[in-house]
Homo-oligomer: A and B are copies of this chain.
Amino acid sequence: MNKVTIALLQHSCGDNVSKNLDKALGMIDSAARKGAQIIATQELFKSRYFCQQESYDFFRLAEPVTERSVTIKELSLLAKKRKVVIAASLFERVAGGVYYNTTAVLDADGKYLGKYRKMHIPDDPQFYEKFYFAPGDLGYKMFKTRYADIGVLICWDQWYPEAARLTALMGAQIIFYPTAIGWLPADKKEYGERQHASWETIQRSHAIANGCFVAAANRIGREPNSEKGKEGIEFWGQSFVADPYGSILKRSSTEKEEALIVAIDLDVIETKRVQWPFLRDRRIDSYGGILNRFNEE
C-alpha cells in the first residue's frame, strides 16, 4: 500500500477577495488536520468567476505568481506549517497586457515548485476567458511533491484527451483539475443533466486511458452577472476523485461547501496498468495527424 490522502476544496465565493482567500486557507488548515496531504483549490478560488463578463475592471484582480509573490508566500507558510502540498489556482499577471490562468504548486515544506498555465482557453457565452487569459506557454507539467507526482490541468483542459495523456506521460500519478463550471439557468432544463454527465465522463475516461487518478475541484453557488438580462451561473459543485479504472471514489454535493477528503492507494496505478497495458500498445508511429487542427482531404 502506498497511500496518500488528497482533498479538493469546494466553496462559494463572494465579492471580497480577502474573505475568499481566508475561507480557502481555513479549509486547507482544516483538511490538513483531518489528514489531507495534497490539497487542491477550485479554479480562481480568490474571486468570483469574473469571466462571466468582459470588463476591464477585473484585471485588477490579477497578481504575480512567483515564489516571492504575496499569495504564494501566504500559501507557502501554511503548506510548511501543516506539511501539505497545495495546488492553488490564481489569476496571474506578468505585465500589463499579459495575464494567465495559472495554478501554482507548493510542496509540503513550503517550497514553491512551479506553475502550470492553462493551455486550452474557452470562449463561450458567460465564459469569456479568451478576453482575460493568454493561452498557456509553459506546456504540460508534472510536479514531484513529497507525497506523489502530480499533474495540474485547469477546467477547459478537461475536454482534451491530449492534455491528460501528455501529463500522464510525464509521470503524473494524480491529475488535479481546478474548475469553475456550472449551468446557465436558461440551459439547465434542456442540457443540464447531460452537460454534467459529459463533464464527469470525459474526466473518468482520462483516468481509464492513462491509468492514473483524476481529481476535479469545482466551485458552488449562484454567482450573479452584472449585465442586463443575464442570470449568472449556477456552479454545479460535484467535485470528485476517480481511480485508474475510472470509478468515482467520492463525489461532493452540488451545493455544500466542503473539502472532499479521499485516501487513495497509488499502487493501484501499477496494478491497473499491468492488467490493462494500454500504454504498451500505443501506436506512436501513427499519431502524427494529432498535430493538425483537422485532417482535410
Assess the A201–B205 pair: CB atoms within 8 A.
Answer: yes
With A161-B161, A209-B161, A286-B140 as given contacts, are A294 and B279 in contact (CB-CB < 8 Å)? yes
- A159–B278 CB distance below 8 A: yes
Given A162-B282, A288-B291, A202-B197 contact (CB < 8 Å): no
Interface residues of A (CB under 8 A from B): 119-122, 124, 135, 139-140, 156, 159-163, 165-166, 169-171, 191, 194-195, 197-198, 201-202, 204-206, 208-209, 245-247, 275-279, 281-284, 286-295, 297
Could you tell me the distance between the alpha carbons of A121 and B286 in the complex, rounded to whole angstroms? 14
Give Cα distance in the complex from A119 to B135, angstroms.
33
> Do A290 and B292 touch (CB < 8 A)?
no
Chain B residue contacts of A195, Cβ below 8 A: 245
Q: A140-B289, A284-B291, A291-B288 given as contacts; is B247 within 8 A of A197 (CB)?
A: yes
* Structural contact, B160 and A282, CB atoms closer than 8 A: yes
Beta-carbon contact of B279 and A209 below 8 Å:
no
B281 pairs with A293, CB closer than 8 A: no
A284 in contact with B292 given A194-B247, A198-B208 (CB within 8 Å): yes
Q: Roughly how many angstroms separate A169 CA and B245 CA in the complex, as a whole number? A: 27
Check A166–B290 contact: CB distance below 8 A. Answer: yes
Given contacts A198-B208, A202-B205, A246-B202, contact A170 B283 (CB under 8 A): no
